Amino acid sequence: MSQNLKNDLLLRAQLREPVERPPIWIMRQAGRYLPEYRETRAQAGSFMSLCQNPELACEVTMQPLRRFPLDAAILFSDILTIPDAMGLGLYFETGEGPRFREPVRTLEAIENLPVPDPEQELRYVMDAVRLIRRELDGQVPLIGFAGSPWTLATYMVEGQGSRDFAETKRLMYGEPQAMHALLQKVATAVTDYLNAQIRAGAQSVMIFDTWGGSLTPRAYREFSLAYMQRIVDGLIRENDGRRVPVTLFTKGGGAWLEMMADTGADALGLDWTIEIAEASRRVGDRVALQGNLDPSVLYAPEAVVREETQRVLDGFDRETGHVFNLGHGIHPGIDPERVAAMVDTVTNYRR
């Protein structure tokens, strides 16, 4: 399947192999900034209905590729599909973000959580992956993804997004054994889920640790990184006769890049709070780096977008191992023309 990839720039850059230029894809590249996405989302009726309909998930995955010459597709889904499949009752309040009807805050509740079978409870995700691969027809690689155990645990314990993670940290500091039981169960579920995505056709996978940056260095090692390490160790790393690269991304994790590089991941995502040159100096050529334009730059005039994009590209000091991306997901209010200017700057870049 993957042998006939017409454009494998992403996979080569993630494995630090020679590339003609840095590849580009965009976190949340299928999203509300695109009018065609908003149309499909309205057709689906709700965000979760969109995620759970493989045909529509495939359609929105393909939309940004029809508009921009991107070097990868990323599965359209949500990090909270796993806790939803564990029976926590995911729903979305308009303007409020995700909520769970059944948050877990006791050891007993944690022990009662099932580990979902990805081909049963999460079958709709795997069907979407298979459909997208067929639709892509070797044009570019498909990236699969999941949330990190720590990030998923914050939603599962809080029951929603949070600023201070009061309930989660109360459990972590007050009943660490209960928190470890939860993280262990979620790490198993994430490993199964990503491996199922790889079997279904994902050619690269990414772990989003959105809230790892809320931890102290010691707590990060114990409650976030250790479980991402467990997932990296358990992943299928070769499929279809090709290496399947894995990328770790901790938002706010710039202080811990060396530790992240030690996990054996192939690439690290960077947010915009660290210079790419400094990150490169610190990790050397042990891992590829992905990033790291501040998404808010895309609100600026086109000339500024091109200039800032160029600055990130020039900041990377090696021949290979850079995947251009934003430092986090694209904002809904961005003009697609600004995105086109950024993509054009990258695709025409020569060191």
Domain boundaries, the chain: 2-347
Per the annotation, the verdict on 32 as an active-site residue is: yes
237 among known catalytic residues: no
Mind listing the pLDDT tens digit for each residue in 4-57? 899 999 999 999 999 999 999 999 999 999 999 999 999 999 999 999 999 999
Within 8 A by CB and 6+ apart from 231, the residues are 148, 149, 187, 190, 191, 194, 207
Three-state DSSP at 179 gives: helix
Sign of CA dihedral 229, 235, 239, 244: negative
Max CA distance (Å), the chain: 57
The highest-confidence range among 88-92, 146-150, 316-320, by mean pLDDT, is: 146-150
* pLDDT score, position 3: 53
The backbone torsions φ and ψ at residue 332, rounded to the nearest 5 degrees and listed phi first, read -60, -30
Q: What is the mean pLDDT of the chain?
A: 96
The token pair that represents 162 in the structure block = 């949070």
Higher-scoring residue by pLDDT: 150, 1: 150
For residue 73, what is the DSSP state? E
Residues 155, 193, 220, 227: which is the catalytic one?
Answer: 155
- Counting residues of the chain whose pLDDT is more than 70, the rounded percentage is 99
Report whether 139 contacts 65 (CB < 8 A).
Answer: yes
Q: pLDDT tens across 119-156, in order?
A: 999 999 999 999 999 999 999 999 999 999 999 999 99
pLDDT band at 2 (very low <50, low <70, confident <90, very high): very low
For residues 219 and 222, give the distance between their C-alpha atoms in angstroms, rounded to a whole number.
5
| Cis check: omega of the bond before 112, within 30 degrees of 0 | no
Q: Which two tokens stand for residue 179?
A: 């928190």
Residue numbering of the annotated binding site for substrate: 28-32, 78, 155, 210, 328
d(CA 247, CA 227): 14
Question: pTM here?
Answer: 0.97
The C-alpha angle 205, 160, 33, rounded to 5 degrees, equals: 60
Active-site residue identified among 32, 38, 130, 242 = 32
Joined together, the tokens standing for residue 7 give 């454009």
In the predicted model, is pLDDT for residue 94 greater than 80? no
Section 154-177 average pLDDT:
97
In the CATH scheme, what is the code of domain 2-347? 3.20.20.210
Annotation says 91 is catalytic: no
Q: Note the pLDDT of residue 57.
A: 98
pLDDT of residue 96: 78
CB 267, CB 289: distance < 8 Å? yes
Q: How crowded is residue 80: how many other Cβ atoms within 10 Å of its Cβ?
A: 21
CA 47, CA 72: separation in Å to the nearest integer?
23
DSSP string covering 146-167: EE-HHHHHHHHHHSB--SS-HH
Q: What value does the mean pLDDT take over residues 58-67? A: 98
| Catalytic residue, candidates 12, 16, 41, 306 | 41
pLDDT at 100 over 70: yes
Question: Both tokens of residue 59?
Answer: 């359609």
Catalytic, out of 78, 127, 266, 271: 78
Which DSSP letter does residue 329 get?
A: P
Which of 12, 126, 24, 15 is closest to 65 using CA atoms? Answer: 24
Could you read off the pLDDT of 184-215 as tens digits, one per residue? Answer: 999 999 999 999 999 999 999 999 999 999 99
Report the percent of the chain where pLDDT is more than 90.
96
DSSP 324: B
pLDDT digits (tens, 9 = 90+) for 214-235: 999 999 999 999 999 999 999 9
- DSSP E strand boundaries for the chain: 73-74, 90-93, 97-100, 142-147, 204-209, 238-239, 242-243, 246-250, 267-269, 288-290, 322-323
- Tell me, yes or no, if 33 is annotated catalytic: no
What are the φ and ψ backbone dihedral angles of 203, each rounded to 5 degrees?
Answer: -105, -5
- Asked if the model's pLDDT at residue 1 lies above 70, the reply is no
Active site residue 230: no
